[in-house]
Structure 1
Amino acid sequence: MTIDVILPCLDEEAALGWVLGRMPDGYRPIVVDNGSTDRSAEIARDLGARVVHEPRRGFGAACHAGLLVSSAELVCFMDADASLDPAQLLRVATPVLDGRSDLVLGRRVPQTAGAWPPHARLGNAVLAGNLRRRTGAPLHDLGPMRAARRSSLLALGLTDRRFGYPLEMVLRAAAADWRITEVEVDYLARTGRSKVTGTLRGTLRAVADMRRVMAEIRPG
């Protein structure tokens, strides 16, 4: 069975070699270039990945563009910055393949002191706590490595195209009575500076996007 792996990408030329080189057999990478100014698209293509160009800037726009072009029954999402090991995609995909879960998120476990800045980790913990109270899903992390069936994701009708996309996915999945679970995955120090936690502007933008999504999607 082929599984598509959607990798939103913005200037990740330094990380893509490691990421694509560790992709498991049967996992087909779709690199969604979201306006990179480096050689990300060229490198990804040379390494055998399918490259999709999404001109509309935004994390959600890139993720959804990959979802739309995917043709696999099951899809995974993960960052392209080498903070997550593609070899561990099997951990998040297996519960969906086995029929035990509808949406699986990778709960990040830092492997080095600098992998997860304290302010980002605290913000994530607060958000996960809010999600547990609102949805009842046993989540401790809004993990970027995740797996679900493509047709089911499309049926959720996700509309956010910014940093609120992964949060909207969980909220709408919970509203649809999906079985949502998490498994532990290693969290590594990313290659290069984060577009979100690495800058004050990025952090504030992500917080604003997620607050907006939380306000718009009320518990069912």
Structure 2
Amino acid sequence: MNEAENLPHVFATIPLDALTEAGWGVEVVIADNGSTDGTGEIAASFGARVVHQPLRGYGNAYKAGIAAARGEVIATGDADCTYPFDDLLRLLRILDDQQVEFLNTNRLGRENRDAMKPSHTLANHALSLVSRKLFKSEMRDSQSGMWVFRRYIWDTLKVTSDGMGFSQEIKNAAVREGFRCIEVPIEYRPRGGEVKLNAFSDGMANVTQLFRHRLRDNALRTATRAQWYDRSTRPAPQPLLRALPKEPAATADRASQGLAGTGHQLA
């Protein structure tokens, strides 16, 4: 929402050439959450497919964007210059090589301490601690907005949050459903433009969402007599790039227009 000034830099960091050469067909989807500064128009001028979601809210924007994405793998991030889209190739290789279904990124390493206000860092650590305790998760950064996941798991996850709680809910749902999850560190960068996060109100809403999600999850499992999935019995994800046909990669120009190459699809 209203990230027009940041979009040129964000698009410049997406490694279209490298992704295409590695065998990925690339689709860039921008969820325009009722912007008033021309965000949608600027995104379209860079070749992105723009999904308009006038109903405000972080979760609402992501629901619309994920529903529209056509890739077998979805990589997410905010359009505010904070997330390293230029690191996508490494993250995708980890997803494929380690047969991961949901990959979260951790921004809270000491090397990133100057990119976030100390109060926000403390709040992120606190929310992540509560999340780990409630959902028996090993993820250290429950609030990170950069994830890479296989498209098919979205059809199983029951994610209802309309606001900022969406980020922690999708991670906790993936863990509870027994998908193969992993977390890796990333570089986190200073935000460009206006900060829209309200630390107190958004933080309290996230705490409330955590407990509601846990209670809802318990009630569902009790009502259906469902058991937690045994990860050892879940079939391993199919390899992505290792099974690609040896054909010429799509040109970077085609990829920048959101057109599929010869390999697997990334949105």
**Which TM-score band applies after superposition, normalised by the shorter structure?**
0.7 to 0.9
For residues 64 and 112 of structure 2, the distance between their equivalents in structure 1, rounded to whole angstroms, comes to 32
- For residues 138 and 92 of structure 1, the distance between their equivalents in structure 2, rounded to whole angstroms, comes to 18
CA–CA distance in structure 1, aligned partners of residues 98 and 112 of structure 2: 33
Paired position in structure 1 for 2:253: none
- How many residues matched? 206
Q: SS at the partner of 1:217?
A: helix
Which is richer in strand? 1
**Equivalent-residue separation in structure 2 for 1:113 and 1:174 (angstroms):** 27
Structure 1 segments of 4 or more deviating over 4 A?
109-114
Structure with larger Rg: 2
Change (3 A) 1:55 1:210: same
Residues 110-189 of structure 1 aligned to structure 2 (within 5 Å)? 114-142=114-142, 143-189=144-190
CA–CA distance in structure 1, aligned partners of residues 104 and 207 of structure 2: 20
CA RMSD of aligned residues (A): 1.8
| Unaligned ranges ≥5, structure 1 | 1-9, 197-201
Which one-letter code corresponds to 2:120 in the other structure? A
Q: Given the superposition, is the C-alpha separation of residues 66 and 89 from structure 1 closer, same or farther in structure 2, using an over 3 Å criterion?
A: same
Correspondence 1:39 to 2:38: yes
Deviation at 1:98, TM superposition (A): 2.9
Q: Which residue of 2 aligns with 1:49?
A: 48
Distance 1:187 1:110 in 2: 10
* 1:114 Cα deviation after fit: 4.2
Which structure 2 residues correspond to residues 9-24 of structure 1 after superposition, within 5 A? 10-24=1-15
| Aligned amino acid, residue 88 of structure 1 | D
Q: Distance in 1 between matches of 2:73 and 2:178?
A: 19
Q: Secondary structure at the match of 2:158?
A: coil
Match of 2:206 in 1: 210
Q: Any stretches of 5+ residues in structure 2 without a counterpart?
A: 17-23, 219-267
Give the TM-score, by structure 1 length: 0.86
Change (3 A) 1:56 1:117: same
Q: Distance in 1 between matches of 2:32 and 2:172?
A: 26
CA distance in 1, matches of 2:112, 2:208: 32
Task: Report 1 or 2 for greater relative contact order, CA contacts < 8 Å, sequence distance ≥ 6.
Answer: 2
